[in-house]
Structure 1
Amino acid sequence: MTTLEFQQVDVFSTTPFKGNPVAVVLAADSLTTEQMAAFASWTNLSETTFLLRPTSPEADYRVRIFTPQTELPFAGHPTLGSCHAWLTSGGRPRNETIVQECDIGLVPIRSEGERLAFVAPELRRSGPIDEALLSRVAHGLKISPSSIQASAWTDNGPGWLSVLLGSREEVLALEPDYASLAGLSIGVIGPWNPATDGTEAQFEVRAFVMSAGVNEDPVTGSLNAGLAQWLIGEGRAPQHYIASQGARLDRSGRVYIDLEEDKIWIGGATITRITGTLQV
């Protein structure tokens, strides 16, 4: 029997149990892919990660990311949660910027006081969405195609395609037909109205990840990264903003977006809620 250090980290919220949890297994090099997949299925969290020795000389550590059904090349809240667990377990970066290795490549991460932030990775797919697919998305979201203000592929690994609605209210009102959206990863975003919604955030986001066996993800770093690249790139969002996510799931996620020079940083709070050991 193998005993490994384990943490469960709450990401993207400073309020206990209101962010997105990720299970992190440290020094997991002894585990097989099958053991990793079995544990991720057992935790039944949106993602479970395994920290490993890096294979790149530039990386501080390597991570593998699993949903209950599949392995992902990259995901946002697992990136921040894994980095937090690595740091709190004694990890020391080679330089001021931490470098995570994952299947999508090397991801820079930095400390921002009480938050960690990662650089949005290059999109694997961008550009317009096929009209037939967009019609399927509108049907599955139970909205009129005319209520979609803009749309684009925002895929940085999980397969995201995204749509912009006219308001936070429209985003929160969605009651998708998940079965009709099987196999898709859909991001939906809409602006806050300062007069009625306040100024704590500027956009509301929801993430429907049927492709990974998760109907709705509470707070999603990879999606927010892709959304920021799309919306800032098209001038539809400012260079610095806060996205709110998770309200329909009784969460209070906050994702901090900052464009600096040619990099978009995606930041949020990271707090360990559970520590212990895993026996395999």
Structure 2
Amino acid sequence: MGLRYAIYDVFTDRRLAGNPLAVIFDADALSDETMQALAREMNLSETVFICSAANPAHAGRLRIFTPMRELPFAGHPTVGAAIALCELNHAEQRPDFDLVCVLEEKVGPVRCAVRLSAEAASFAEFDLPRTPSRIELNLDRQGLADALSVKVADLAFENHVPSIWSAGVPFLMLPLHNLAVAQSVEFDPGLWEKAAPFVEGRMASAYLYCRGGVHHAAKFHTRMFSPDMGIAEDPATGAAAAALSGAIRHFDGLPDGHHPVLIEQGVEMGRPSFIHLHIDVKDGAIARARIGGQSLKTATGEIHL
């Protein structure tokens, strides 16, 4: 059995940067166990399997796996898969061709807008399938600080304090005092397992953020660590950026209107990524939010099973 696959670098406009994603096509016949084994074999933050959609009007149905488990929703597989499918199905209409498609994920249908480009990286953005919500749990701040090798006083800036948010996948949001502190973090998985809360039956992933960034246009600099997902550190985490939109609106008290936010991640790994977050606030709440970014294909091949 041969399966076509491609590797895309997501949330970047240049190859060998951003977050690499394995896209495996025509995956209807694969069992859950085979998908998980292939995700371990690929050994990337996420591998996405494209299956036939239940609704024939939709572009495809996604199964998203980390090396350790399946996710109901993730950002860089959504962006990468949307571009991969559109490149596959509409190659004759490039360059600079715009279209809208719907991808079926376990979290629900996800609407994506794609701009294909023959000369540069293509771009895709999607509407958040769920608005972010806060999960209230007691947090061991000293234990969390020890796991990051920072001081407890560094786990905050302005109004921001540690909190848990989810827009489909929960993350423990850890605000850090400044960029220097964020770049100095030494994550200890053993200490994290002792201090991290369990959310929805699983150990929480760590999403670190501070204001500003290495890139002058970035409004937030972020890092993500997830022993539970088998991810030592992630170059870009769209689902976490989606959850972060809730923390930004809450702690910054965003007024009604449209708020564009550029998030950088992966800098410390040598794989800089740029996530475009757009937040629309109405009556003091998030009415709509979108995640977007560029992506390029870096490799193609065939898997033999």
What TM-score, normalized to structure 2?
A: 0.82
Q: Using a 3 Å threshold, how does the CA distance of structure 1 residues 91 and 104 change in structure 2: closer, same or farther? A: farther
Is residue 210 from structure 1 mapped to residue 212 from structure 2 by the alignment? no
Query: In the alignment, residue 117 of structure 1 is paired with which amino acid?
Result: E
| Pairing of 1:85-234 with structure 2 (within 5 A) | 85-90=84-89, 96-111=99-114, 114-122=122-130, 126-132=134-140, 134-149=141-156, 150-182=161-193, 183-192=203-212, 197=214, 199-234=216-251
Question: CA deviation digits over 1:96-154, x for unaligned, max 9?
Answer: 5321111111111112574211122325751444133x443222112222222212212
Query: In the alignment, residue 268 of structure 2 is paired with which amino acid?
Result: R
Name the % identity: 27
| Pairing of 1:19-34 with structure 2 (within 5 A) | 19-34=18-33
Q: Using a 3 Å threshold, how does the CA distance of structure 1 residues 17 and 103 change in structure 2: closer, same or farther? A: same
Query: In the alignment, residue 127 of structure 2 is paired with which amino acid?
Result: V
Instruction: Measure how far apart 1:178 and its partner are.
Output: 1.5
Question: CA deviation digits over 1:226-254, x for unaligned, max 9?
Answer: 11232134326781121111011011111
Question: For the residues of structure 1 that align with 2:54 and 2:132, how far apart are their CA atoms?
Answer: 22
Residue segments in structure 2 that go unaligned for 5+ positions in a row: 92-97, 117-121, 194-202, 282-286
Give the secondary structure class of the aligned counterpart of 2:109. Answer: strand
Question: For the residues of structure 2 that align with 1:256 and 1:124, how far apart are their CA atoms?
Answer: 16
Query: In the alignment, residue 138 of structure 1 is paired with which amino acid?
Result: A
Question: For the residues of structure 2 that align with 1:19 and 1:107, how far apart are their CA atoms?
Answer: 22
Question: For the residues of structure 2 that align with 1:37 and 1:166, how far apart are their CA atoms?
Answer: 38
Question: For the residues of structure 2 that align with 1:124 and 1:135, how far apart are their CA atoms?
Answer: 26
What TM-score, normalized to structure 1?
A: 0.89
Q: Using a 3 Å threshold, how does the CA distance of structure 1 residues 14 and 198 change in structure 2: closer, same or farther? A: closer
Judge conservation of contact 1:15–1:252 (CA < 8 Å) in 2: no
Q: Which of 120-129 and 162-171 deviates more?
A: 120-129
Report the number of matched residues.
Answer: 273
Is residue 263 from structure 1 mapped to residue 288 from structure 2 by the alignment? yes
Query: In the alignment, residue 10 of structure 2 is paired with which amino acid?
Result: V
Question: For the residues of structure 2 that align with 1:208 and 1:264, how far apart are their CA atoms?
Answer: 24
Instruction: Measure how far apart 1:44 and its partner are.
Output: 0.7
Q: Using a 3 Å threshold, how does the CA distance of structure 1 residues 18 and 103 change in structure 2: closer, same or farther? A: same
Aligned to 2:261: 241
Question: For the residues of structure 2 that align with 1:235 and 1:13, how far apart are their CA atoms?
Answer: 27
Instruction: Measure how far apart 1:160 and its partner are.
Output: 1.0
Question: For the residues of structure 1 that align with 2:215 and 2:224, how far apart are their CA atoms?
Answer: 22
